[in-house]
Amino acid sequence: MSDTSRILCPVLSQRIMSAEEAAELIPAGAKVGMSGFTGAGYPKAVPGALAERIRRLNAENSTPFRISVWTGASTAPELDGVLAEVDGIEMRLPFQSDPICRNRINNGTMDYVDYHLSEVSQYAWSGFLGKMDIALIEVAGIREDGSLIPSSSIGNNKTWIEQADKIILEVNSKQNAKLEGMHDVYYGTALPPNRKPIMLTDPADRIGEQYMVCPPEKVIAVVETAAPDRNSPFKPSDDTSKRIAGHILDFFNREIEMGRLPKELLPIQSGVGNIPNAVLEGLDAGPYKDLTAFTEVIQDGMLKMLKSGTLKVASATAFSLSPDGIKEFDDNIDFYRDKIILRQQDISNHPELARRLGVIAMNGLIECDLYGNVNSTHIMGTRMMNGIGGSGDFARNGYLSIFVSPSTAKDGAISAIVPMVSHVDHTEHDVKIIVTEQGLADLRGLSPRQRAHEIINNCAHPDFRPALIDYYERALHSGRGMHTPHLLEEALSWHRRYEETGHM
């Protein structure tokens, strides 16, 4: 599968080896910075070869061989899955969505640290996480001077390449060669006290380089691959998603009418999944034109919006497309090339930029309580789902924070609106809008008691509404504080009831 036209640097072409040979260069206990963000641009071959090596060595030795894995965000079965399966990951950060990985996190055999995605590179630069040993990075090509053409995500790659002593590159010939030039890698970063303003004032601005700098002397292996990114089929919007999208679109229209949003809205940040895609479809069907996106991930809906002119530019750190989306993108890359900019995640998610641009942040929630506290990560307070991702970066610092979910889960057994959330990722101070298929709660300017009315009446499922009102009323008259009324002895009883009976 050699495609040496992708490796133009003479020095680095001498370091081409097999994935198995490269995996031998990763020692036990290593902190490895890997590429990969929402299933795009992760290394496809070396993690599998390393997992095989770990399986072999662990069968022979009593001292387990494990590494720490730092990525951009979630990867794929070929990375998180295979390494978790052989119990090869000691510590994982900052986001994952792999079922085997998740299982290890929740059965206590893997340590997982759940960071805001904007902050990971700062953590690494600062030395707070210890020294990174090896960077394992997928690229679309290596140029003559050794600089790198990023592939379908950038994530933390710039930082990993800077921080690691040794670098292993995977050159993936399945990545579209025309990705070249779509990236914007910003080299103005620094640790304080040497930081400067980031001179980006529009999602379309380019402030960096098209390529990643990579000192050839640090590269210990180059592995050629030809494998597609993980991608999931695009599911057509269901009725619930469409109703949620409808409430959001009504809200945007009202805000525009009231002069609180421009008619081009403000740069959109959108989580991945059915509901966000339904919102994007709704925007695309509406009267909107020349919108912009300043987000983490380019999903199918954004391609359609770019095609129709609803969206004029999308800035992100990664793609997350369906097979159909990938085909559309590959077939029409010349159209998309100048309308999509991929940045490193410490820029795509930067608090400075989210605040300045005034991002409209739309993210999913697992549960929300009467007072607007949102849980994005934990099932029943103890089990990690995926991670906070960039939701905190955008919700805290953006202009509008919108959290969405169907009002129930598990066929109606679970209410997304609960008396008290079992874990808090977004505090009452950061949550402006809650939306379910039932309706939209606009929490701006409301005290906790006022929020409770808005959330129960507009967002809770009718099956759970009476119980929520009952809890709230009894809390209000319990003799405890009436700023945030709670019955501490019952506050988490809905979760316990679910654990005990399978129904909240």
Interface residues for a second copy in 475-504 (CB under 8 A)?
Answer: 475-476, 480-486, 488-489, 491-492, 495-496, 499
Within 76-115, the residues that bind a second copy by CB under 8 A are 91, 105-108, 111-115
Identify residues 175-194 at the interface with a second copy (CB under 8 A).
Answer: 191-193
Nearer to a second copy, 261 or 298 (CB): 261
Using CB under 8 A as the binding rule, the residues of this chain from 422 to 451 that contact a second copy are: 422-430, 432, 444-447, 449-450
Annotated ligand binding at 366? The verdict is yes
Q: CB 227 → a second copy: shortest distance, Å?
A: 31
Question: Is residue 235 a known part of a binding site?
Answer: no
# residues contacting a second copy (CB under 8 A): 87
* Contact predicate 146/107, CB 8 Å: no
CB of 153 to a second copy, least distance (A): 22
* Residue with smaller CB distance to a second copy, 7 or 89: 89
Mark the segment that binds a second copy (CB under 8 A) among 80-88, 237-245, 388-396, 453-461. Answer: 388-396
* DSSP for residue 444: T
Residue among 296, 328, 367, 437 flagged as catalytic? 296
Nearer to a second copy, 48 or 387 (CB): 387
Distance CA 24, CA 134 (A): 12
Closest separation in Å from C-beta 429 to a second copy: 6
Q: According to CB under 8 A, which one of 259, 287, 334, 411 is a site residue for a second copy?
A: 259
Q: Rounded distance, CA 458 to CA 426, Å? A: 20
Nearest CB to a second copy, comparing residues 230 and 451: 451
Nearer to a second copy, 16 or 91 (CB): 91
Q: Which of residues 196-225 bind a second copy (CB under 8 A)?
A: 196-199, 201-202
Q: Which residue of 260, 263, 289, 474 would you call a contact of a second copy, by CB under 8 A?
A: 260
Cβ closest to a second copy, residue 13 vs residue 103? 103
Which residue number, 266 or 365, has a Cβ lying nearer to a second copy?
266
Residue 157 among known ligand-binding residues: no
CB of 318 to a second copy, least distance (A): 21
Q: How far is the CB of 47 from a second copy (least distance, A)?
A: 21
**242 a known binding residue?**
no
Q: Helix, strand, or coil here: 234? A: coil
Q: How far is the CB of 444 from a second copy (least distance, A)?
A: 4
Using the 8-state DSSP alphabet, how is residue 16 labeled?
Answer: B
Q: Which two tokens stand for residue 35?
A: 């590429």
Q: 46 is written with which tokens?
A: 């070396």
Whole-angstrom distance, CA of residue 206 vs CA of residue 341: 8
Contacting range for a second copy; rule: CB under 8 A; set: 48-56, 149-157, 330-338, 379-387:
379-387
* Whole-angstrom distance, CA of residue 306 vs CA of residue 313: 7
Tell me if residue 13 falls in helix, strand or coil.
helix
DSSP 330-389: HHTHHHHTTTEEEEBHHHHT-HHHHHHHT-EEEEE-SEEETTS-EESSEETTTEE-S--T
Q: What is the 3-state secondary structure (H, E, C) of 129-156?
A: CCCCCEEEEEEEEECCCCCEEECCECEC
Q: Are 292 and 339 in contact (CB under 8 A)?
A: no
Cα(495)–Cα(82) distance, integer angstroms: 33
Rounded CA separation 425/374 (Å): 6
Q: Where are the beta strands (DSSP E) in 43-199?
A: 67-70, 89-93, 111-112, 134-142, 148-150, 166-172, 183-184
Q: How many residues does the chain have?
A: 504
The C-alpha atoms of residue 259 and residue 213 are separated, in whole angstroms, by 45
**Is residue 254 a contact residue for a second copy (CB under 8 A)?**
no
Q: 25: exposed, middle or buried (C-beta count within 10 Å: 0-12, 13-18, 19+)?
A: middle
Nearer Cβ to a second copy (226/409): 409
CB of 488 to a second copy, least distance (A): 4
CB 462 within 8 A of CB 414: no
Q: Rounded CA gap, 289 and 283, in Å?
A: 9
Site for a second copy in 112-151 (CB under 8 A): 112-116, 122-123, 126-130
CB of 320 to a second copy, least distance (A): 22
Active site residue 296: yes
Among 15, 343, 350, 461, binds a second copy (CB under 8 A): 350
Provide the annotated binding site for CoA: 366, 386, 390, 410
Query: Which residues are catalytic, by number?
Result: 296
